[in-house]
Amino acid sequence: MFSWAAKRKLLVILSLVIIALLFIILFVKPQFEVEATCFDGIQNGKESGIDCGGSCSRFCSISALPLITTWTRAFEVIPGRYNAIAIVENQNTDAAIYAISYEFKLYDDNNVFIARRTGKTYILPNNQTAIFAPAILVGDRVPTRADFSFTENPLWLQTPKDAGQGITPSVSNILVKDPFTKPTLTATIRNNSRFNLTNFDVVAVLYDTDNNAIGASTTFIESLKEGETYDVFYTWQKPFTEEPVRIEILPQVNVFDLNDYRSS
């Protein structure tokens, strides 16, 4: 049996050990713990993958559906100059791309390379992105085929939850005039969102009865405030060879440029 002095000594030792453990837990351990971030290379915090998903701005690429290039065409503007356009479909509702590099390549009817144009674009969420490359110089050669590709892997970002849906302006009053002489196209763009939209392209594509694109053009809107409308106007220097029977007007609003968005 322990003597009274031994018991007291043991009690003091246990008390000191408990105090030391509490000190380590409360003050020492936090000094060595690294707060979870979206850039630490490990899955922690509220992430659903390594530095992606959950509270991170990055979307987990393993969960992203691949981009689909629906079609690519080149259209003569004037002799020696062509516009190229590619329509890319993003089927991801909750993911988009802030910037990705691309290239167009033009070839003649002998499959001989003519010209190349590179650039960067954003990709819209759950929508079509029209990528437009104007005034590509081809000299005296005639492109008969256009290829489009991305030149880097996509960095997917989660679509801002308050801006992913309903920011694409509506289009009305579409009218084509003089398609076989001096073609023009007009339309009205309306901002029905709660955001003031700035610095975005509006691409027009015209199709024939076989659903082939026969013309395309783009214009730029510097500012379109909430509830405002804007009349866009397009012209072509060359007449169309066929009657346009279907017209797409594609406003290209980058969700990551909205004023209310802040990346995490």
- CATH at 239: 2.60.40.3230
Whether residue 48 lies inside any domain: the answer is no
pLDDT score at 246? 95
pLDDT score at 126? 86
pLDDT score at 46? 72
> Domain end: 99, 130, 158, which one?
158
Instruction: State what percent of residues in the chain have pLDDT above 70.
Output: 81
pLDDT > 50? residue 50: yes
> Domain end: 158, 190, 222, which one?
158
Mean pLDDT (whole number) for 203-207: 96
Q: CA-CA distance, 179 to 185, in Å (whole number)?
A: 9
pLDDT > 90? residue 99: yes
> Buried b vs exposed e over 82-103: b needs ≥16 C-beta within 10 Å?
bbbbbbbbbebebbbbbebebe
pLDDT score at 216? 95
- How many structural domains are present in the chain? 2
Q: Going by DSSP bridges, is the β-strand pair 95-107/197-207 parallel, antiparallel, or unpaired?
A: unpaired
pLDDT score at 218? 96
When pLDDT is cut at 50, 70 and 90, the band that residue 261 belongs to is very low
Whole-model pTM?
A: 0.80
pLDDT score at 224? 93
**Residue 206 domain boundaries:** 170-257
Same domain, 152 and 187: no
pLDDT > 50? residue 185: yes
Place of tokens 């012209």: 235
pLDDT score at 38? 80
Mean pLDDT (whole number) for 183-192: 96
> Domain end: 131, 158, 185, which one?
158
When pLDDT is cut at 50, 70 and 90, the band that residue 262 belongs to is very low
pLDDT > 60? residue 227: yes
Residues 19-33 have pLDDT tens digits of: 666 666 665 555 555
What's the whole-number average pLDDT of the chain?
86
Q: CA-CA distance, 231 to 188, in Å (whole number)?
A: 4
pLDDT score at 164? 54
pLDDT score at 123? 94
